[in-house]
Structure 1
């Protein structure tokens, strides 16, 4: 397993204190010059599909479950573990000072057609939708949101944009 980056949110004063620990699995799905991402209206950003690993759940099983729920992906085939990011940021739950999240990224393939997504209530409320998009277009969009420091900008945009940049350099063959 390869550490890709450690991210410390700029509003986090210290990495000590009561820590909420979370593990996540996220999918990298590339096809014909496009990448499968989630666009979230609330935050106006693109992110890799995936989410939290439940207590006792196998990380690849969590990845497949999350891809199916968020994007409607079927027949998820995990090709390789690409690496992980350690992230420290403020936490909103009472009783905690910060969140320490480890996000594992996996290169995957999925069936050609997506079924209907089965989003959670908060994902629907946030306007989250799966999209196939050119990775360079998604990176440009996220960079613009960060440059403008939009009021609705989410805490994960730095992680997601870093990953899109890394994937574009290492996994995407650019044509033109």
Structure 2
């Protein structure tokens, strides 16, 4: 299992307010490929998103997988790791934002899909689910990491993709 903290805010004052968010991310492998969300800019991120108040991590992940990928029959298995990111809040310069992302190995139990239900920024980025190799995702993200503002997920997702590559969780079981 992996765990890391990414981001060290520059000039962070100790009296800053903290804003916290918990997120869940799905690691879904089939036939040596991983299911990721691909944007119109060419970057990749894991399907998943924020946990709503009163929602369990597993319930949030099943909901997010259905909303983002359209796959409605998914089983959440063991946790693979946690990544915590800290940075100055984009919307309030007096706050430090901390997001903790929980990654779980998941399995699709069939290929039934429904239409995607994307959030605003996901629709703007024309996010689509795509099966790719770990190397395709890592290389695609690396080639774009310095090209866009507010694209912190590339560092996070590539950290996880590299950890998965080390762990060889993509091998068929």
Fold match, TM over 0.5?
yes
Count of aligned pairs between the two proteins? 169
Residue in 2 that maps onto 1:106: 104
- 2:138 is the counterpart of 1:139: yes
Q: 1:23–1:101: 8 Å Cα contact kept in structure 2? A: yes
- Equivalence map 1:90-101=2 (5 Å): 90-94=88-92, 96-101=94-99
1:141 alignment partner, SS class: helix
CA RMSD of aligned residues (A): 2.1
- Cα gap change, 1:132/1:114 in structure 2, threshold over 3 Å: closer, same or farther? farther
Q: 2:2–2:80: 8 Å Cα contact kept in structure 1? A: no
TM-score, normalisation: structure 2: 0.88
The CA deviation at 1:94 is 3.3
- The counterpart of 2:159, out of the listed 148, 162, 174, is 162
1:131 alignment partner, SS class: strand
TM-score, normalisation: structure 1: 0.87
Q: 1:85–1:103: 8 Å Cα contact kept in structure 2? A: yes
1:117 alignment partner, SS class: coil
Cα deviations by residue, 1:2-60 (Å, 9 ceiling, x for unpaired)? 56111015x54327411210000100000001100001225x31011100001111111
The CA deviation at 1:122 is 2.5
Q: 2:28–2:34: 8 Å Cα contact kept in structure 1? A: yes
- 2:63 is the counterpart of 1:61: no
- Cα gap change, 1:13/1:136 in structure 2, threshold over 3 Å: closer, same or farther? same
**Whole-Å Cα distance in 1 between the matches of residues 123 and 106 of structure 2?**
24
The CA deviation at 1:93 is 2.2
2:63 alignment partner, SS class: helix
The CA deviation at 1:96 is 4.5
Q: 2:43–2:144: 8 Å Cα contact kept in structure 1? A: yes
